């Protein structure tokens, strides 16, 4: 049995380039769900799923309201909606107020995912220029989940990983090239 059932990933400034390094090495037989919040503009349509789908062996799509979270799939938070995971492992979309001045917010996804998956969740904080994700990563740590943070020295914007490390001292610090292998090891049956 694998260590985790899902991985949540949060990124902001420099995030597209980071995701384009992390997702391609992931195996097409990866047995976990990968759920991503990337800070985007408030426009209602996003090309992020299409861009990442071109470089990823797993199917990639925007998460939909009440859609079940399935293993072996990459889900992207749609623009201008907070993405949550319900206790029955389905998605919920919210237009609640912005968190850290953004919607979707990483903290919102991480906190809800921590409640649903508890110790069977990995949280990954990547490059970004604000503190979104730090409180959510702490929620994952508090439920015995696995916490991974991009080495701030390798990030386009180190503020987000630094904030996450300040909040979760025991988080594992990795380079972008190390993260896919770590996720595949955690997902190994």
> What are the pLDDT digits (tens) for 135-156?
999 999 999 999 999 999 999 9
Pairing of strands 6-11, 33-38: parallel
What CATH architecture does domain 6-129+143-187 belong to? 3-Layer(aba) Sandwich (3.40)
Contact 79/41 with Cβ under 8 angstroms? yes
Share of the chain above pLDDT 70, in %: 96
> What are the pLDDT digits (tens) for 55-84?
999 999 999 999 999 999 999 999 999 999
Given 38, 39, 49, 107, which residue is catalytic?
39
Per the rule left: phi > 0, alpha: psi between -120 and 50, beta: everything else, 18 is alpha
Q: Which residue has the tokens 């903290």?
A: 107
* Active-site annotation holds for 73: no
* Active-site annotation holds for 39: yes
pLDDT exceeds 50 at position 44: no
* Mean pLDDT across the chain: 95
CB count in 10 Å sphere of residue 65:
12
Given 5, 62, 107, 132, which residue is catalytic?
132
């Amino acid at each position: 049995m694998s260590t985790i059932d899902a991985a949540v990933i949060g990124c902001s400034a420099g995030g597209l380039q980071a995701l384009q390094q992390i997702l391609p090495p992931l195996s097409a037989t990866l047995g976990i769900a990968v759920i991503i919040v990337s800070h985007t503009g408030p426009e209602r349509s996003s090309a992020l799923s299409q861009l990442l789908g071109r470089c990823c062996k797993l199917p990639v799509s925007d998460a939909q309201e009440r859609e079940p979270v399935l293993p072996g799939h990459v889900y992207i938070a749609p623009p201008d909606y907070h993405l949550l995971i319900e206790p029955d492992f389905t998605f919920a979309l919210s237009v609640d107020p912005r968190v850290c001045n953004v919607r979707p917010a990483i903290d919102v996804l991480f906190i809800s995912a921590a409640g649903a998956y508890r110790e069977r969740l990995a949280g990954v904080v990547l490059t970004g220029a604000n503190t979104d994700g730090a409180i959510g990563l702490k929620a994952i740590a508090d439920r015995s989940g696995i916490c991974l943070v991009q080495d701030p020295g390798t990030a386009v914007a180190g503020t987000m990983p630094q904030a996450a490390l300040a909040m979760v001292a025991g988080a594992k610090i990795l380079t972008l090239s190390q993260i896919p292998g770590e996720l595949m090891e955690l997902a190994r049956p």
